[in-house]
Amino acid sequence: MLPRTICKLASSTHKMNRVEARRLGLLVGFAVVVLHLLWGFTLPQGSQGHRRSIRPYETPLSTDTSEVNATSLICSSEQPYDIALCLPDSDALSVPPLVELSCRQEGDLVSHGGQACLSFTDLRSRTYEFWSRLKGRTAFQLYPQDLPAREVVRRVKRGLPIGVKSINNPRLAVLKVSKTVCTEEQRGKEVYRFLVIVKSATKNFQARSRLREFIHNQTSRLPFPVGLLFSMGLPRELHEMESNEPVLQNLRTESELFDDILLTNFMDTYDNLTLKTIINLRFAHTICRGVSTQFVILDDDYGISLQGLLDSLTSFSRSDLLRHAFGIVNPSSTVIRSRGHKWALDRAAFPYDIFPNYMSGFCYVIGAQAIEALSIVAAFTKPLRLEDAYIGIMAAKLNMSLHTISGIFLHWPPADTTIAKVVAPIEYFLENR
């Protein structure tokens, strides 16, 4: 029997038809091929998959303020990692359970609001006029699950139970990791000023090669160390899975040559971009615990000036660099409802007409302490298809500060701008070297 970790690749609550079952079978088989043929290791056997047989948090639970080792928070801290959070059992509570709120008073959400207690479902009937009266970020606490996010983080980091079942904690097996970046010996030693995690896809060899060379050319001359990883999932096209051996062999060669691949067992599609983001957050929080001051999340078709990034952050204190996030902040953007639009959201899934402040997803920088908090809160936050807005929701729940830094360009920088270029489409940097 295949381990449950692999069987979760296409998890769903609805019954599968024959086509869906065939797709799941192909994906399971493909993941096993990756494990057995390319990297030569097998998943541990048994009814628990590669979940540890010992109970998480082996030390007695208490209200002590000391934090547990971050790698003990995940379901398997040995390769192949399962970076789902393994939380203490609720029946072992040593502290009062947290209370998940079912509604909030309207007056706490909007100015000139009434006393009615509004649930997440109630928000679907509210008009744009209601949303124009939002009072800060409080309304986004209602986005499931409505728990005190900072207390959730505090308890998880200290090995204390929450008392509420998490809504978003899928099993996530990491199939391939670097042997030189985020090693056990590096944990807690802050060996990098920045760790750059690039969102890529298995077939994007050219994009990775171009960006890798661009970054390595910088790091060889920089006075501070930088780490680099390319994060990806399994190929999305089923017909590719049946004839993907050349792609996988090329990926193996690339991994052996550059040792910077982070491969996880999820189907790499646009709709799973939020899942990829959670993986990056969780991997940085646990396996890369304490190796870097800040983590840079970057799309593989963008270039970055690392010295320029450092210069743009000099006005912030070390405490802010560790606890806050940086990028291009989008304030109170309107939610798109038009059917067929790439970024449209159904009102049932997201009843808000306005997003909380969020950072554009093509590049953002998250402090080491902030990434821990986001990684944990993600397990208690309902997934949203738009990954940058999803991070904004979690930041709102945590009351985390987001900062816009200059020099980050989504499109080709204007010819007449005098702003130093920190991030831009990589073609811009290559043409202006």
The CATH number for 336's domain is 3.90.550.10
> Do 368 and 303 have their domain in common?
yes
User: DSSP for 85-99?
Assistant: E-PPPGGG-SSPPP-
Round to whole Å and give the CA distance between 277 and 81: 17
> Do 137 and 265 have their domain in common?
no
Residue ending a domain, among 144, 162, 195, is 144
Residue 399 has a pLDDT of 98
The per-residue pLDDT for range 18-40, each reduced to its tens digit, is: 444 444 445 545 555 555 545 54
Angle, helices 149-157/387-398, rounded to nearest 10 degrees: 90
Round to whole Å and give the CA distance between 358 and 364: 10
> Do 118 and 187 have their domain in common?
no
Whether residue 323 contacts residue 370, with contact meaning beta carbons closer than 8 Å, is answered with yes
Whether residue 295 contacts residue 194, with contact meaning beta carbons closer than 8 Å, is answered with yes
Range(s) of the domain holding residue 203: 175-431
> 295-320 burial, b for 16+ CB within 10 Å, e for fewer?
bbbbbbbbbbbbebbbebbeebeeee
The per-residue pLDDT for range 73-82, each reduced to its tens digit, is: 999 888 889 9
- Report if residue 109 sits inside a domain: yes
The per-residue pLDDT for range 295-328, each reduced to its tens digit, is: 999 999 999 999 999 999 999 999 999 999 999 9
Q: Residue 42's pLDDT band (boundaries 50, 70, 90)?
A: very low
Name the residue type at position 353. D
> Do 195 and 117 have their domain in common?
no
**Could you give the dihedral angle defined by the CA atoms of residues 318, 394, 170 and 189, in that order, rounded to the nearest 10 degrees?**
0
Residue 145 has a pLDDT of 96
What would the two tokens of residue 337 be?
């409802």
Residue 1 has a pLDDT of 37
What would the two tokens of residue 144 be?
């499931």
- Report if residue 349 sits inside a domain: yes
> Do 222 and 120 have their domain in common?
no
Residue 77 has a pLDDT of 85
Instruction: Please compute the mean of the pLDDT values over residues 237-245 and round it to a whole number.
Output: 57
User: DSSP for 374-416?
Assistant: HHHHHTTS---S-HHHHHHHHHHHHT--EEE-TTB-SSPPPTT
> Do 109 and 205 have their domain in common?
no
> Domains in the chain: how many in total?
2
> Do 276 and 382 have their domain in common?
yes
> Do 261 and 124 have their domain in common?
no
User: DSSP for 32-81?
Assistant: HHIIIIIS---PPPSTTTTS-SSPS--SPP---SPPPPGGGGEEE-SSSP
Residue 7: Cβ-neighbour burial (10 angstroms; 0-12, 13-18, 19+): middle
> Do 129 and 266 have their domain in common?
no
> Do 217 and 122 have their domain in common?
no
> Do 135 and 284 have their domain in common?
no
Average per-residue pLDDT in the chain? 85
> Do 233 and 108 have their domain in common?
no
